Amino acid sequence: MKRTTGTDRSITRNWKPATRAVRGGTWRSEMGETSEAMFLTSGYSYDDAATPAARFAGEEAGMTYSRLQNPTVAMLEERIALMEGAEACRTQATGMAAMTAALLCQLSAGDHIVAAQAAFGSCRWLVDDLLPRFGIEGTTIDSTDNAAWEAAIRPNTKVFFFETPANPTLDVVDLEFVCGLAKSRGITTVVDNAFCTPIMQRPMEWGADVVAYSATKLMEGQGRVLAGAVCGSEEFINEKLLPFQRNTGPNLSPFNAWVVLKGLETLELRARQQCANALKVGQFLEGRVPKILHPGLASHPRHELAMKQMDMTGCIFSFVLDGGRKEAHAFLDALELIDISNNIGDARSLMCHPASTTHHSVGPEKRAEMGVDEGMLRFNVGLEDADDLIEDLERALAAVGL
């Protein structure tokens, strides 16, 4: 295997984002294939007994077992790290495997974590249910309140954990403030950047230590496979994450890694067009629905902050109808083109009712605290023509008398 371009890191580092997404981490075998090869192998064989001994001792680079290394997976990890501007990256089987690994690899009994109230349902479960079982206490706060982050810090606080924009409330966290505060107190920030991908927002440029992904979403981009990734410093990845990952095994399959590699090649184009569609559709809905939460619209409470820290304002937004669950379900049932689906990041437009799906298990009390209204609908805007989407929305609005 040899690297095709940019063997010298100083060359790849100067590549623009679109080039990184297409070319980053490309290694070719002696066959000279143009598309990345798929190494569907769990093990590796050696010419002599000394070779594996040297590799297991860490004296020689090379593959030993696919829970430890795999060439296709390594290509994806190199590409994501390059796009993120991170020293290193490791991938996992799903976004939730990535979040779990990013937290458990660095927390121990007696530690404390401060996390955003508004978050993906399973991320809240980690903080509220899983970590306390192992003696790791969590405090959840309104992540848009800078003072709340500071007030929640305890002497044993080790990690800040949040999404921005958050799923599904689109809460925007002040990355520069929150990451700066964490740094000044020796706290590690873990940012779930699934809504943005590095094409739209790079939290490390604002001081984040660890950036974690559901690559299932916009990175893969066509709703085919699940994947996750954790980016950080060489030190964090090698000393904290790798011992955890290699011994617990939440690894990404090489097939899924290959699908995500192919997805990343079109990420910039997809993101650009989906964001443009989301803005056009958002502008159409504004004024027609009682409330819309879209970071790209001036009506968003943190619109200016979003414009400062995001290169594009996203392809996912939410809106709220006054008639609760009944009206939200009626709206969904009237759609003809847009699918009723709880996935996001897909090239297809998808809409869901978070209170009865993604945020069902967090329960009504926490939903109220997070701001997940019974009348809220979350909209992933895809690559279809925006005018066709608007026509479909007109139909749904008419069905609920709006």
Q: Which residues bind ligand PLP (CB under 6 A)?
A: 94-96, 99, 120, 123, 163, 167, 192, 194, 214, 216-217, 226, 228, 344
Q: How far is the CB of 316 from ligand PLP (least distance, A)?
A: 9
Residue 258 near residue 72 (C-beta atoms within 8 A): yes
273, HSE (Cβ side, Cα atoms, 13 Å): 15
Would the CA dihedral through 98, 102, 105, 110 be positive or negative?
A: negative
CB-nearer residue toward ligand PLP: 12 or 122 = 122
Q: Say which residue the tokens 């504004």 belong to.
A: 286
End-to-end CA distance of the chain: 60
Measured from the Cβ of residue 239, the count of other Cβ atoms closer than 10 Å reads: 12
CB-nearer residue toward ligand PLP: 194 or 347 = 194
Residue 205, SS3 per DSSP: helix
CB-nearer residue toward ligand PLP: 123 or 204 = 123
Would the CA dihedral through 274, 374, 305, 139 be positive or negative?
A: negative
Residue 56, SS3 per DSSP: helix
CB-nearer residue toward ligand PLP: 6 or 371 = 371
Q: How far is the CB of 193 from ligand PLP (least distance, A)?
A: 8
Q: How far is the CB of 194 from ligand PLP (least distance, A)?
A: 4
CB-nearer residue toward ligand PLP: 26 or 100 = 100
Residue 324, Ramachandran bin (φ over 0: left; ψ between -120 and 50: alpha; else beta): left
CB-nearer residue toward ligand PLP: 96 or 355 = 96
Q: How far is the CB of 213 from ligand PLP (least distance, A)?
A: 8
CB-nearer residue toward ligand PLP: 120 or 331 = 120
Q: How far is the CB of 378 from ligand PLP (least distance, A)?
A: 10
**Which residue number is nearest to ligand PLP in terms of Cβ?**
95
Beta bridge partners of 339: 350
CB-nearer residue toward ligand PLP: 75 or 225 = 225
Q: How far is the CB of 215 from ligand PLP (least distance, A)?
A: 7
Residue 241, SS3 per DSSP: helix
Q: How far is the CB of 32 from ligand PLP (least distance, A)?
A: 34
Taking only Cα atoms into account, the Rg of the chain, rounded to an integer number of angstroms, comes to 22
Q: Which two tokens stand for residue 125?
A: 């479960």
Q: How far is the CB of 182 from ligand PLP (least distance, A)?
A: 19
Residue 43 corresponds to which amino acid? G
Beta strands in 135-264 (DSSP E): 137-141, 157-163, 188-192, 210-214, 228-232
Q: How far is the CB of 48 from ligand PLP (least distance, A)?
A: 41
Q: How far is the CB of 90 from ligand PLP (least distance, A)?
A: 15
Angle between helices 267-285 and 386-399 (to 10 degrees): 40
What is the distance, to the nearest Å, from the Cα of residue 304 to the centroid of all Cα atoms in its chain? 22
CB-nearer residue toward ligand PLP: 63 or 76 = 76
CB-nearer residue toward ligand PLP: 12 or 313 = 313
Return d(Cα 111, Cα 391) in angstroms, integer. Answer: 52
Do you know the residue count of the chain? 402
What residues contact residue 29 under an 8 Å CB cut-off, 6+ apart? 1, 37
Residue 380 near residue 346 (C-beta atoms within 8 A): yes
